[in-house]
């Protein structure tokens, strides 16, 4: 596992969503990520993810603090004084009410990088709106430019694109840039990560086209949204699907030859015949099973690939060869595989033992932050620390 962030301490106040995706990546790069959960008496106030999700706590530590108690807030502030990064995903204004906002923490730790992740940002007319992945994809134009269902409505995406890329990776990039900037200035910074704005970055090609030309991008309106037959999906004889991305003329020519449809090579971008090309492609692909076509075309510079189901991708030889999956062991659920740290440029093949969620690292975490054993014990006795 990559250790480029070894020595950096990250406090993560989230349990799910974009912020948790962010801290997952930071941990995979070697940062010491400490998940700050709520105490048992406030457990209903925080979503607990399924045991297998977000890497099942791989490589992370955990403490539980009652941030609504003055003693809990003070303990968190002292812990934050030793941290490099704080990540939070409360609604705008909540951290200020709790007394753990950036302005409060920077007085004790001027080098702190504080990252707030929220659906719409910390200000603006929508900042107080509740939302989830589908809402941010809708507002940011992603759903409009996606495919359509039978009734003409936007099709739901197959992944939480806004949470993972629009929010989580958006936050990771901002945090890494802020840490690099701190090396020059010696000062931390505040990051206002809006998941909806992260979706805008994903939609930049369409947005810039609209702003520059007045065009109205949407389904089948351009090359990358399916206007041309060379960039589409097609069913094979066995009902499984193939993805074709033969954008470059050379790749399109190879594909046409492989399908015995050389007649279409000169007319790849001829708007008038796209329906005819699609019809012929569909007819050709329907003559053989998907994997037969893949074996013939994928390595022949045609930009053809299988549309894998999740069942298929977890056994795909490419991902297996790259070590994308690692073993985990759970005290109740036994051994299982999970996705490894694929974004970190390498994986740790050692099995990960999933801990009981009630187990915390409070003695170690707060001891490293300067708390003596008596104070930790007293905080536990008060019910503000677990």
Residues involved in catalysis: 132, 163
Residues in the chain: 386
Q: What is the 3-state secondary structure (H, E, C) of the chain?
A: CCCCCCCCEEEECCCCHHHHHHHHHHHHCCCEEEEEECCHHHHHHCCCCCCCCHHHHCCEEEEEECCCCHHHHHHHHHHHCCCCEEEECCCCCHHHHHCCCHHHHHCCCCCCEEEEEECCCCCCCCCCCCCCHHHHHHHCCHHHHCCECCCCCECCCCCCHHHHHHHHHHHHHHHHHHHHHHHHHCCCEEEEEEHHHHHHHHCHHHHHHHHHHCCCCCCCCCHHHCCCCCEEEEECCCCCEEEEECCCHHHHHHHHHHCCCHHHHHHCCCHHHHHHHHHHHHHHHCCCCHHHHHHHHHHHCCCEEECCCHHHHCCCHHHHHCCCEEEEEECCCEEEEEECCHHHCCCCCCCEECCCCCCCCHHHHHHHCCCCHHHHHHHHHHCCEC
C-alpha dihedral over 384, 34, 100, 97, to 10 degrees?
-70
Q: With the CA atoms of 256, 261, 263 and 269 taken in that order, what torsion angle do they form, in degrees rounded to the nearest 10?
A: -50
d(CA 145, CA 151): 16
Residue 276 and residue 279: Cα distance in Å, rounded?
A: 5
What order of strands is seen across the sheet that includes strand 231-235? 231-235, 241-245, 304-306
- How many other β-carbons are positioned within 10 Å of the β-carbon of residue 87? 27
């Amino acid at each position: 596992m990559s250790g480029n962030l070894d020595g950096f301490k990250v406090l993560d106040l989230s349990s799910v969503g974009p912020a948790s995706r962010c801290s997952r990546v930071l941990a995979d790069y070697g940062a010491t990520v400490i998940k700050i959960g709520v105490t048992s008496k406030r457990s209903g106030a925080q979503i607990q993810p399924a045991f297998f999700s977000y890497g099942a706590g791989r490589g992370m530590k955990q403490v539980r603090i009652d941030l609504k108690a003055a003693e809990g807030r003070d303990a968190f502030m002292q812990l934050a004084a030793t941290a490099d990064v704080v990540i939070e995903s409360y609604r705008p204004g909540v951290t200020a009410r709790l007394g753990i906002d950036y302005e409060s923490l920077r007085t004790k730790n001027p080098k702190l990088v504080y990252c707030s992740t929220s659906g719409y940002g910390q200000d603006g007319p929508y900042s107080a709106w509740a939302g989830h992945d589908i809402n941010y994809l809708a507002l940011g134009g992603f759903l409009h430019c996606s495919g359509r269902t039978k009734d003409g409505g936007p099709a739901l995406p197959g992944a939480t694109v806004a949470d993972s890329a629009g929010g989580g990776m958006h936050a990771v990039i901002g945090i890494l840039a802020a840490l690099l900037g701190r090396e020059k200035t010696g000062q931390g910074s505040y990051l206002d990560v809006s998941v909806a704005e992260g979706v805008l970055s994903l939609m930049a090609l369409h947005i810039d086209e609209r702003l520059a030309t007045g065009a109205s991008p949407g389904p089948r309106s351009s090359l990358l949204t399916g206007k041309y037959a060379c960039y589409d999906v097609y069913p094979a004889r066995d009902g499984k699907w193939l993805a074709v991305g033969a954008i470059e003329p050379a790749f399109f020519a190879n594909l046409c030859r492989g399908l015995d449809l050389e007649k279409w090579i000169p007319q790849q971008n001829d708007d008038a015949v796209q329906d005819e090309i699609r019809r012929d492609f569909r007819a050709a692909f329907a003559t053989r099973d998907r994997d037969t076509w893949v074996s013939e075309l994928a390595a022949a510079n045609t930009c053809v690939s299988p549309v894998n189901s999740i069942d298929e991708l977890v056994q795909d030889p490419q991902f297996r060869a790259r070590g994308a999956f690692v073993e985990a062991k759970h005290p109740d659920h036994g051994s299982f595989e999970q996705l490894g740290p694929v974004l970190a440029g390498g994986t740790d093949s050692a099995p990960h033992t999933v801990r009981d969620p009630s187990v915390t690292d409070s003695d170690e975490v707060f001891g490293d932050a300067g708390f003596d054993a008596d104070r930790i014990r007293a905080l536990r006795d008060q019910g503000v620390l677990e």
